[in-house]
Structures are given as structure tokens and as C-alpha cells.
Structure 1
Amino acid sequence: MKDLTNALPPVIADYIAAHNQPDPAAFIDMFAPDALLNDAQREFLGRDAIRAWADKDVFGDNLKMEPKRVWEHPGGIIVHAKYEGDFDKTNLPDPLILTSYFRILQGRIAQLIIVFNKTVWEPEKT
């Protein structure tokens, strides 16, 4: 896998910037009209559903993400990021690292799966 940590693809860099600024309009524009997002075992299909999720879980909780490692994978882009914000942190580790699996089509996010993994892997150096 190719390490992209220091050379983020534009759509990923724009997603993170809109996420952190916050810029809800730019954020939702990163998604394809029929995008699928899965966060914490909850599915959201289409921009309207994703917008409602983001209004509450991203912008409502003042959620910020700081990418730590980013890789290109044949199935898409994998981002390990540290998350902070005004959400319930009960029983969560500090720092909270989530893995985001992005599938990009025609410059937009077609699929995003956000997972709290029990272990965060690092690909072998080649």
C-alpha cells in the first residue's frame, strides 16, 4: 500500500478541512448524491441523510479530526485519525483513533465507513 500521509488526495484533504472548519456546505459537497456512509453501525444513504448525520454527530459535537496515517489501498483510501470534540467519551480511549475507509468515484466520496477498531494496524514497510 502506498503511504499518502504527507500527500493527501484532494477530496480527502477537502473533506478534512470542511469537517474541521466547520463548513457544512463544503462538507456535504464532498459526497456523491447517492453516497453511503456507515458510522457506528448506522447507515446513511444519500446527501440528505448524511447531512442530518453530520449536523448532529460532526458539527453538533464540534468534532475535529487529525489524520495520523493515510494509505492508498486497491479498494480506496484508509485514514487513521485522532478525533476530539464535545461527545460522550465514557469508556473511550484517549486519544480516540478511528479508521475511515473512503471509496472515491469521479472526485467525490461514494462510500465512507468509519470504524472504531480494537487495534490499529500499520502496513509492513516495503
Structure 2
Amino acid sequence: MPNPRSRSNARALPPAVSAFVEATNGFDLERLVVAFADDALVNDQLQEYWGKEAIRGWAERDIIGERLTIAVTKIVRKHSNCIVTANVDGDFDKRGLPDPLVSTFYFTAHDRLIMQLIILRSRCDV
């Protein structure tokens, strides 16, 4: 049975997740929002955003507005879930944050759309 883990490889990402990463790194708000289902949920560091309107506000402020970039370091795929570990950078206040800042993005996709995204800062020191 193949190992569900793979190193950073854009072709290993499901289409919706790949669109999210590419839109984020390209600072493309419209493409980023289109990757989500109308009733999707984003939970970013324990703050919830339900539906495209709320997700658009979050993405405009916290992703595009902070010029966030995602450098994928690990991908794990299992059924409709894709777990992406990445080094995150951008124009946000980095005081007190580790370098590199590692986050884990827990995607659930269906019909080429993101249904749920949970983002947590990963601790490398444990």
C-alpha cells in the first residue's frame, strides 16, 4: 500500500488545495475565494469564518493584506482530506514568532472545492 506522505510537489495537491496555495502565493483574492464552497468553514488559529462572505473578509485581511506566502514542506493525503505543512511568511508582525513559522493546513475538499480549512501553528520544539 502506498505511503500517503509525500514531499512538496504541487501535482500531489488536490486541485482546490493547489488553487488555494497558488492564489495565496500570487496574492489573488478572487482565485482564493473561488476555491471555497459557498458554505465552507475556515478556522484560522481558533477563529471561525463561515461562508464565502466571511472567508472573503478573512482572506482579504489576513492572507492577501498580509502578503502571506506558503512554502509547502509536507503533504499528507487521506480520503477527502489533505494536510499541508508549510513555512509561512509575509508582511505580518513576526515579533515573538519562530523562524521559520510553520503552520499546518487541514483541508477537506469535495467536488473540487474546499469545504473546510483549519489552520494551526505547528510547534517544532516539542
Task: Say whether the fold is shared (TM-score over 0.5).
Answer: yes
* Aligned counterpart, 2:91: 86
* Matches of 1:93 and 1:48, distance apart in 2: 31
Q: How many residues align?
A: 121
How far 1:91 moved relative to its partner? 1.1
Match of 1:20 in 2: 25
Give the gaps of 5 or more residues in structure 1.
122-126
Partner of 2:118: 113
- What amino acid maps onto 1:115 in structure 2? L
Which one of 59, 66, 73 corresponds to residue 54 of structure 1? 59
Cα distance, 1:73 vs. partner?
2.4
Percent identity over the alignment?
38
Unaligned runs of 5+ in 2: none
Per the alignment, residue 124 of structure 1 pairs with none
Change in Cα spacing, 1:90 to 1:35, as seen in structure 2 (3 Å) is same
**Residue identity in the other structure for 1:2:** P
Partner of 2:16: 11
> In the TM superposition, what is the alpha-carbon distance from 1:62 to its structure 2 partner?
0.7
CA RMSD of superposed structures (Å): 1.7
Cα 1:120/1:14, change in 2 over 3 Å: farther
Distance 1:16 1:60, change over 3 A: same
With 35-44 and 65-74 compared, the bigger mean Cα shift is at 65-74
Structure 2 counterpart of 1:9, which letter? P
TM-score (norm: length of structure 2): 0.89
